[in-house]
Structure 1
Amino acid sequence: MSQLLLQGGRVIDPAAGLDATLDILVEGQLIAAIGPALSAMAPTAQVVDCRDMLVLPGLIDTHGHVYQYVTGRFGLNADQCGVRSGVTTIVDQGGASCITIPGFRHFVAEPAATRVFAYISAYLVGGLEGHYYPDLYRPDCLDAAATVKSALANADLVKGVKAHAEIGGFARWGLDVMKIASKIGRDAILPVYIHFGQLWPKPESGGRAVNPDSIFNQVVDTLKPGDILAHPFSRHPGGFVEENGKLHPLVHEAVARGLKIDVGHGSHFSFKTARVVLDSGVIPDTLGADMHGYNTHVPSPAGTPDSHPDEEHSFLGRTQFSLVSAMTSMLALGLPLHHVVAMATSNAAKMIGMEGELGTLKAGGVADITVLDDKRGRWVLEDNEGTQVVTERMLAPRFCLRDGVRYDADAPQLPLARAA
């Protein structure tokens, strides 16, 4: 059996309370040992020098869009977002539905080198073109019983339910869609992941008038402990921050009820909003990159739309991001390294019900490992509002092991650092 020795890196595993300079010996698909100076255990092992690098449990991206081709321009290649970006596991958010989950399994999850799971869409059509066609997402385009049946029959793949709480939907159908999505989650005994944001089409294109500040509390009232509120740092109204620029008064209550928070970075991430939320004492549990075909430079399939009508989905030319660059943004905002690592490892594993199996490093466990460069200097980070933040610490993916197989971080959409 082949042996690989990751030598001398800073090994951080929040689940195990581990932070030390150690070696990790990998044999085949498993971790054989973790400890100091392991070279004597495996004199013939291939040695990888990890000095000055972070060696972490395989990163888990809790918010991906990787139903490539079936969701049109929206879906990206799973391995470009995954192992080729230093990410060993990715959770597709709402691309597959009860109708299309067999195709997702056969054409995406099974052939991918990346470990792929799904939060099944509450909608019959899934995430076609990032909800480009709004009439496909009205209440009579959901089937709770069929979605529950599909989720239970594909329990190895489906780890939750994806739904939307945005002004466009509330303007047309109020809370009806959210109530159905909540029922799916309860009946399937799965967490529901809620998108907050101003998803196209906006209220002015038809429907009832909506007070954005009323959406958060209406949605929270439908949810159960363990459900996930996404996009706390969105620049759009209707979520965590009210139009007056202050934290919605029910956010702390929602956390106290047991609801979880996922950053879901995306192109609508705002440093200003993040500052309001964090300064109010609200710390997200998980990260999630939220990359898709409308907010990256990846070429789109022929014949798909040139752009998305929703500005939230449009790449405005200022930023390019990944899960690891989102980790850098969290550090720049002042979150501790250990919590940022936990967001993308142990906390993410809890979100998909795989705590102790993924998101941790242990002898005898699966050899899913991410190795990052941890650089010091001065770099400029910029969001799509044009807000700039200077950071003195930059994380960048070097490579990862997925089931013991090495993949270098060479994805073409990985962002380039910009010196201050």
Structure 2
Amino acid sequence: MIGNRFAPAAQPLLLKGAKPLGFGDKSTSDAPIDIMIGKDDRIAEVSQRIEAGGDVRVVEAKGAFVSPGWTDLHVHVWYGGTDISLKPEQCGAARGVTTMVDAGSAGEANFHGLREFIIEPARENIYAFLNLGSIGLVACNRVSELIDMRSIDIDRTIAAVEANRDVIVGLKVRASAVITGGWDLAPVKLAKKLCRILKLPLMVHVGEPPPLYDDVLGVLTEGDIVTHCFNGKAGGSILEDEDLYRLAEQAAARGIVLDVGHGGASFSFDVAKAALSRGLKPQTISTDLHNRSLDGSVWDMATTMSKLLSLGMKLDDVVAASTTAPRRAIRLPAENLLEVGKPAEFTLFDVVDSDLTVKDSQGATSRLTRLFEPRYAVIGAEPVTAHRHVPAEGSAGGHACPHCGWKS
């Protein structure tokens, strides 16, 4: 556990009457349980009924679900270090998210700042994919991090990973003509080579070609991650290209992780619905939250999860894709998370009836009749009251970059 690691809890915490969901075969959503968490931030007892002592803080779940902590595999939280990043508290525990993975905001030249000023002080657990480009997303899409080989320092990138293996979980490369111009597949191949050396997964942003989404899939191997897998961009959508759709199916079958990575320009209701109707599910659900998508089409993790639920994913699958699956993708423990002695990291939430109109990244609307509503994020023995993000009035159309119009 990275977050909340400097101060032990003042008192034990008892979660009463929560319905477990997403913990595997040993859990059932029909029988509420109590969970005692000790001052050491680890699970002390799990039972159908636990009596609280005088020094125990009690959170009454009142039949809410308890799952492994929601884990957002793609966010941007290098606040102050890039012009798109949010503060962790804008998309973390207050939204039900206990673990976040910053997806390439920092490169080797500025990762030390992300670690010192964001990762280490945060109460959430924060990890990072290191950008292949040395400067990361300092001036996102105004100054490309991958202009040519002068943008990459192989030795320093390897050294940064080796010095920070406790928090760097892989490399990130943006494979899009908006970023790399005509450099095509070369950055992806180089990033993959470094990942083989470092024995880490590669996360690839797929967008406007070149390179082709098809060719990117050919470079990747088991454990690598394609984010924005259901984007609706011309030339990069699996809906408009049957050959690409089959390649995506084959990639998923050989262990490549298809990640939603909603973002301001990278998720299509039509593409996702078509893929789900044909049995192609995303392995992980993530938001790609940043300051141009927060009040635009994304809002938060709960709303993104609700969108996938509305498009046909089963409740259990949505929860798994938002908890244990992203943990596995970054090689964190994902089994037996309710066992005594394990670090406590949970999200308490309800699934409520709703009538909420939302948008995808292309501006298409959809109505949500069932909605994930986070109640608490539990990190160790600290319960953080949580609720969905309410976007600023008049901002639902999204915030494009004033310089280039980009909303990734």
Q: TM range, normalised to the smaller chain?
A: 0.7 to 0.9
Structure 2 distance, partners of 1:49, 1:185, is 45
Q: What is the SS of the residue equivalent to 2:193?
A: helix
2:17 aligned to which of 8, 13, 19: 8
SS of alignment partner, residue 195 of structure 1: strand
- Per-residue CA distance 1:373-411 (angstroms, 9 max, x = gap): 321243333324333323321111112111211212268
Partner SS, residue 212 of structure 2: helix
Q: State the identity as a percent.
A: 29
Partner residue of 1:32? 44
Partner letter of residue 193 of structure 1?
A: M
8 Å contact kept, 1:320–1:414: no
Match of 2:217 in 1: 220
C-alpha separation between the residues in 2 aligned to 1:355 and 1:30? 14
- Residues 146-225 of structure 1: matches in 2 within 5 Å? 146-169=156-179, 171-198=181-208, 215-225=212-222
Query: Which residue pairs with 1:336 in the alignment?
Result: 314
Q: Any residues of structure 2 matched to 1:400-415 within 5 Å, and which?
A: 400-409=377-386
Task: Letter of the 2:123 partner, please give it.
Answer: A
Alignment of 1:43-62 (within 5 A): 45-62=56-73
SS at match of 1:226: coil
TM-score (norm 2): 0.86
Residue 5 of structure 2 aligns with which residue?
none
Instruction: State the 1:168 CA deviation.
Output: 2.8
The aligned amino acid for 2:48 is P
Q: After superposition, give the CA deviation of every residue in 1:190-239 in whole Å (9 maximum; x if it has no partner).
A: 100010113xxxxxxxxxxx6x6x71221122222110111122121343
Q: Tell me, yes or no, if the aligned pair for 2:374 and 2:386 is still in contact at 8 Å.
A: yes
User: Aligned match of 1:373 in 350, 353, 358?
Assistant: 350
- After TM superposition, give the deviation of residue 276 of structure 1 in Å: 1.9
The alpha-carbon deviation at position 169 of structure 1 amounts to 4.4
Per-residue CA deviations over 1:127-150 (Å, capped at 9, x if unaligned) read: 123332237533331122321221
SS class of match (1:105): helix
Equivalent residue of 1:129, what SS?
Answer: coil
After the TM superposition, which parts of structure 1 deviate over 4 Å for at least 4 consecutive aligned residues? Answer: 41-44, 244-247, 410-416
Q: Deviations 1:92-142 (Å, cap 9, x if unpaired)?
A: 000111111111111111111111111000111111233322375333311
**Where do 5+ consecutive residues of structure 1 fail to align?**
199-209, 298-314
SS at match of 1:221: helix
Q: In structure 2, what is the Cα distance between the partners aligned to 1:336 and 1:401?
A: 24
Where 1:106 maps in the other structure, the secondary structure is helix
Instruction: Work out which of the residue numbers 278, 295, 308 in structure 1 matches 2:293.
Output: 295
1:68 aligns with 2:45: no
Q: What residue number does 1:254 align with?
A: 251
In the alignment, which residue of structure 2 is the partner of 1:398?
A: 375
Match of 2:332 in 1: 354
Gaps of 5+ in 2: 1-9, 394-408
Q: 1:128 to 1:251 in 2, by over 3 A?
A: same
2:110 is the counterpart of 1:100: yes
Given that 2:98 and 2:377 are in contact with CA atoms closer than 8 Å, whether structure 1 keeps it comes out as yes
Aligned residues: 380
1:280 to 256, 269, 278: 278
Distance 2:86 2:147 in 1: 22
Q: 8 Å contact 1:139–1:176 — kept in the other structure?
A: no
Alignment check: 8 A CA contact 1:232 1:239 kept: no
For the structure 1 residues 144 and 240, does the alpha-carbon distance in structure 2 shift closer, same or farther, using more than 3 Å as the test?
A: farther
Task: Compare 270-279 and 370-379 and name the one that shifted more.
Answer: 370-379
CA deviations over 1:257-280 (Å, ceiling 9, x no partner)? 321111111122211111122123
Tell me the amino acid that sits aligned with residue 383 of structure 2.
Answer: R
- What is the deviation of 1:86? 1.1
Match of 2:128 among 106, 110, 118: 118
Contact 1:124 1:142 in 2 (8 A): yes
Deviations 1:351-386 (A, max 9, x none): 1111247x9332211121111132124333332433
Q: Is the 8 A contact 1:320 1:413 kept in 2?
A: no
CA drift of 1:52 comes to 3.4
Aligned-residue CA RMSD in angstroms?
2.4
